[in-house]
Structure 1
Amino acid sequence: MKVTVFGVGYVGLVQGAVLAEVGHKVVCVDVDQSKVDFLNQGGIPIYEPGLETLVKSNLEAGRLSFTSEAKVGVEHGEVIFIAVGTPPDEDGSADLKYVLEVASSIAEFAQGHKIVINKSTVPVGTADKVKERLIQVQTSESASFDVVSNPEFLKEGAAVSDCMRPDRIILGTDSEKAEKTLRELYAPFNRNHDKIIVMDIRSAELTKYAANCMLATKISFMNEMSNLAERFGADIENVRRGIGSDARIGYHFIYAGCGYGGSCFPKDVQALVRSANGVGYQARILEAVESVNYAQKEKLFEYLRLHFKENLKGKTIALWGLSFKPNTDDMREASSRVLMESLWQEGAKVQAFDPKAMDEAQRIYGHRDDLQLVGTKESALNSADALVVCTEWQMFKAPDFELIKERLSTPVIFDGRNLYEPDQLAAMGFDYYGIGRGKSLQGKLL
């Protein structure tokens, strides 16, 4: 099948490459000519495990190509994905400018019937706006359109496997023709059992937001419990194991930490809150989820400030982890950014290491005297006054604690992901601050 994907970010690039891998002929369109040239040469602008091999092999096989010409993409595809960004507007609502610009391009060049698929995360009612734009702008009387909501459910760091082996494929459509075509498109991913769920368009649009907001709610709930554990003298890890054993709750997304980040959860919670306001409803739980997460990102800095008796000026802090989660170089809304910027305001310096995100940190912050990006996790420790763990990369989970103690000026660890055992580190002479465990249990925040 001939497929066009507008947008080569995480969603569009992964979706295009995976569809090409199973035999479809895919053209990806992006307005950034330098990015298009880079991709056509086999380069990958983002880090995502398995993606580079997938893109290169399908480029070589002729099943995948990239262009900046919308006309080429529209003429090629019988199925056209819209997978461009929907960044938050000033009030937190989703900005549909890029989605509607793509709809205009499709309408301008379309001949005959096109199935237009909203893959971008968009507010309820966006499909109606896309359909309206298509009809307003179309230049050919032969053009006709079905608009489908087909939200993505990809996790950064596991996007390729999520796309190859999806839990579910949501199709929001009232068109039998569109449904039949998309069942054919997705047939290679739907062989073991039927993963396709067909529903009305608005329900499909809300399903995406509801899924991300539910996961964000679980995280913020657990962080709320960690704050209570801190004050009650409980250990949040014991609590997690206790409640996770209940099958109705489960173990997924109930790890206390220093806050969630990334391109999805913060943006989508805000967008649904604003959408709710737009229909006269106050989404109180989601407002609380956002508020708890915002406060949670300040916890590591508060621990540092209290440990060093509000005197961080001139201190050097070793930081392990810059990306918002492991297996990505994405630093959007990352807890590390909140921490570093707070430390810099107090006159502290940061020595940071991340396996993949250091180029991104350099891009964001440039060269500054109070940020040193180093080549190994061990070199980040040199003469530092404390170690802070922000991201749960595998390589941070079983470190050489004797080496850490030897290299730090003072033996103190602030563990934003609860990777280590408080009793073990206390026995080795460390001051250990976790999230809802360790020295944070001693009432120092009260």
Structure 2
Amino acid sequence: MKLTFIGTGYVGLVSGVCFSEIGNDVTCLDKDLAKIGRLNGGEVPIYEPGLQELIAKNKALGRLRFTGDLSSSIRSAEAIFICVGTPSLPSGEANLAFIEQAARDIALEMNGYKIIATKSTVPVGTNDKIRQIVAQLTQHPFDVVSIPEFLREGSAIADTLHPDRIIIGSDSPDAAAKLAELHRPLTERIMLTDVRSAEMIKYASNAFLATKISFINEIANICEKVGADVTDVAKGMGHDRRIGPSFLQAGIGYGGSCFPKDTNALIQIAGNVDYEFKLLKSVVEVNQGQRFNIMTKLRHSLGELGGKRIGIWGLAFKPDTDDVRESPALDIIGALLAEGAEVQAYDPVATANFRAIFGQADEVRWCEDALDAARSADALCLLTDWPAFKALALPEVQAVMRQNVLIDGRNVYTSEQVNEAELRYYSVGRPHVGGLSPSASEPVAGYER
């Protein structure tokens, strides 16, 4: 099938490449000609394991191309996938300017029947708006379909080629059947529904996963107070098939481009129809507060932070990506600098992106490796669970530090690893992991609202 993907961000680029991988003729379209030039030169603008190899392979086979030529991209396509950004407005609502512009661009270049499929995450009712925009600008027949994406950065290729399910929302049986056939090589778990339900499925899915994360973090905060181990609690919960083990890893909360944006957008969607989504508001509040538990534990272990040197491991919001959008590290490093601490930070791939958006970049020492970030530090804070951090021998880390405080914001270390070194070790919801007693005072509590 001849496909065009509008937008070469995570969704558009990964989706386009993967659909070329299963044999389709794919054009990836973007108005950013500099990005198109980099892609045609073999440079991938995002960090995603395996993506560069798939791009090279399918370009060589003639199944994949990158272009800024709007007219030819629309006219040659049987189906056009809208994969542009929907960033948050100050109100929390999704900004649909790029969606609406894409709809206008498609309409003005149509030369016959097209399937217009929206993969961008959009509020309920957006595809109806797309239909109205296109209908006002063209006489050609078309169908608008909602086909939400469920990619995870860092495993986006696997998620595309081996999805849990495909959701196709359409009021056209023919268009739905064609897209179902397109996706059948990926999975037989294809669900057909109406357009508005498909739009809601995306938001509801992300909101539920965010809720699981905030829930287990609240349990972790209680575990710290009562002396229970949240990892055992989560494991025991996860054995219940009604609950499952995924997204029950306690830590410093979620970040990235999806969960923060989509939870706030769903709160606004509810508010627009006079419904207060109290549960989701609490999920967002808990998540925002959870990252500052790092600050609580630093103060507990070091006292005043002014003049203290703090090492930071991890700037990306999760491992296997260079995405720093809504990363907890942004707030944590900002808070450290505000209290007068010296910060030295390292991330395997995300440092450049972090520096580009962090307003106080000159006040941080950016390190070349993990041990450099730990060197002469009073405390070391692990914020992103990169495997490379877990693989380091903690005695070697302790040997280069000035003081011996390690705050593990992602619970990556085992008691065996911790006991190899004489560290004052803080984790999240695990009061009995090992190492030296954090201090002689009472156990540190979770954040206070």
Q: TM-score, normalised by structure 1?
A: 0.95
Aligned equivalent of 1:286:
280
> Structure 1: which 5+ runs fail to align?
none
Residues 1:173 and 2:170 aligned together? yes
Cα deviation for residue 281 of structure 1 reads 0.7
SS in 1 for 2:167: strand
Q: Give the CA deviation at 1:325.
A: 0.5
Query: 1-side partners of 2:385 and 2:415: how far apart?
Result: 17
CA contact (8 A) 1:107 1:134 kept: yes
- Counterpart AA for 1:69: D
What is the CA–CA distance in structure 1 between the aligned matches of 2:402 and 2:271, rounded to whole Å? 51
| Distance (whole Å) between structure 1 residues aligned to residue 121 and residue 78 of structure 2 | 22
| Shift in Å, 1:307 | 2.0
Task: Give the match for residue 275 of structure 1.
Answer: 269
1:348 to 338, 341, 349: 341
Aligned to 1:389: 382
List aligned pairs for 1:121-200, cutoff 5 A: 121-138=121-138, 141=139, 143-190=140-187, 194-200=188-194
Q: Offset of 1:78 from its aligned partner?
A: 1.0
Alignment match of 1:436 (pick from 411, 414, 429): 429
For the 8 Å contact 1:425–1:431, the answer to whether it is kept is no
Over residues 107-160 of structure 1, what are the superposed CA-to-partner deviations in whole Å (9 max), with x where a residue is unaligned? Answer: 11111111000100011111100000101122xx3x111000000011100000
2:248 counterpart of 1:254: yes
Greater shift, 64-73 or 361-370, is seen at 361-370
Output one character per residue of 1:282-304: Cα deviation in whole Å (capped at 9) or x when no partner. 11111110000010111112211
The answer on 1:412 being equivalent to 2:409 is no
Instruction: Give 1:423 shift.
Output: 7.8
Shift of 1:424: 6.0
1:234 to 228, 232, 235: 228
Q: Which moved more, 1:266-275 or 1:421-430?
A: 421-430
How far is 1:220 from its partner?
A: 0.2
TM-score, normalised via structure 2 length: 0.94
Instruction: Tell me which amino acid in the other structure corresponds to 1:208.
Output: K
The one-letter code matched in structure 1 to 2:81 is F
Per-residue CA distance 1:378-411 (angstroms, 9 max, x = gap): 1211111111100111111232111121111111
Q: Which amino acid is 2:57 matched to?
A: S
TM-superposed deviation, 1:82: 0.2
2:391 to 385, 398, 422: 398
Range moving further from structure 2, 241-250 or 199-208: 241-250
Structure 2 match to 1:245: 239
Q: What's the offset of the Cα at 1:184?
A: 2.6
Partner Cα separation in structure 1 for residue 107 and residue 430 of structure 2 = 57
1:215-249, CA deviations, whole angstroms, 9 ceiling, x for partnerless residues? 10000000111111122222212211221222221
Determine whether 1:87 maps to 2:87.
yes
Give the aligned residue type for 2:212.
K
Q: Secondary structure at the match of 1:153?
A: coil
Checking the alignment, whether the CA contact within 8 Å between 1:151 and 1:170 is kept in structure 2 is yes
Deviation at 1:427, TM superposition (A): 7.4
CA distance in 2, matches of 1:214, 1:250: 13
Amino acid at match of 1:174: D
Counterparts of 1:36 and 1:302, CA distance in 2 = 45
Change (3 A) 1:427 1:60: closer
Q: Which whole-Å CA distance do the structure 2 matches of 1:435 and 1:253 have between them?
A: 15
Contact kept? 1:422, 1:437, Cα under 8 Å: no
Mean CA deviation greater in 427-436 or 274-283? 427-436
Q: Secondary structure at the match of 1:397?
A: helix
Of the three residues 326, 331, 339, the one matched with 2:332 is 339
CA gap of 1:425–1:277, structure 2 versus 1, over 3 A, is: same
> Residue type matched to 1:123 in 2?
P
Q: How far 1:201 sits from its partner (Å)?
A: 0.7
Pairs within 5 Å for 1:348-367: 348-365=341-358
Percent of residue pairs identical: 45
Matched, 1:203 2:197: yes
8 Å CA contact 1:42–1:59 kept in 2: the answer is no
| Letter paired with 1:400 | A
CA separation in 2, counterparts of 1:366 and 1:273?
28
Structure 2: runs of 5+ lacking an equivalent: 432-437
Q: Distance in 1 between matches of 2:350 and 2:16?
A: 24
Distance verdict in 2 for CA 1:367–1:269, change over 3 Å: closer
Gap change, CA 1:145 and 1:228, over 3 Å in 2:
same
SS at match of 2:370: coil
Higher alpha-carbon deviation: 212-221 or 399-408 = 399-408
2:208 pairs with 1:214: yes
CA contact (8 A) 1:156 1:327 kept: yes
| Cα contact 1:27–1:76 (8 A) shared by 2 | no
Residue in structure 2 matched with residue 43 of structure 1 by the alignment: 43
Q: Which amino acid aligns with 2:145?
A: V
Q: CA deviation at 1:260?
A: 0.4
CA RMSD of aligned residues (A): 1.7
Cα-to-partner distance string for 1:254-301 (whole Å, 9 max, x where unaligned): 011011000000100000000000011111111110000010111112
Contact 2:224 2:444 in 1 (8 A): no
User: Does the aligned pair in 2 maintain the 1:171–1:197 contact within 8 Å?
Assistant: yes
Cα distance change on mapping 1:427 and 1:12 into 2, 3 Å: closer
**Cα displacement (A) at 1:366:** 7.3
Of 345-354 and 150-159, more deviation after overlay is shown by 345-354
* Residues 4 and 77, structure 1, Cα contact 8 Å, conserved in 2: yes
Matched residue type, 1:264 = C
Tell me what 2:32 maps to.
32
Contact 2:167 / 2:198 at 8 angstroms: preserved in 1? yes
Q: Which residue of 2 aligns with 1:296?
A: 290
- Match of 1:126, as an amino acid? T
